[in-house]
Amino acid sequence: MPLSQLVGTDVYLKLDSLQASGSFKDRGMACLCHTLQQDGATKLVSSSGGNAGLAVATICNNLKLLYP
């Protein structure tokens, strides 16, 4: 049975697993990394090895903000 029918109202799911990094942090990190790039950053370092770090690495790669 579809979830919407089960609970009696429309249910919308946000499929964060479909983000580029597979992390739920992509949207926020994309905004932050882009803002930092606009402010003059050319390289970024993340102290996280989890979802945030994976999102930063993915976004920075797209923005060319990683060391080669």
**Which tens digits make up the pLDDT trace of 8-45?**
999 998 888 888 888 888 989 999 999 999 999 998 88
Residue 56 domain-assigned (yes or no): yes
Q: Is position 39 within any domain?
A: yes
pLDDT at 63 over 70: yes
pLDDT average, residue stretch 57-66: 87
User: Whole-angstrom Cα distance, residue 44 to residue 26?
Assistant: 15
Q: Report whether pLDDT(67) > 80.
A: no
Q: What local confidence, expressed as pLDDT, does residue 38 receive? A: 95
**Residue 68 counted as domain residue:** no
State both tokens at 14. 């946000």
Domain residues for the domain of 25 are 3-63
Number of domains the chain contains: 1
Torsion sign (Cα): 30, 32, 27, 55: positive
C-alpha to C-alpha distance for 33 and 35, rounded to whole angstroms: 5
pTM (predicted TM-score)? 0.71
**Encoded amino acid at 31, one letter:** C
In a domain, 23, yes or no: yes
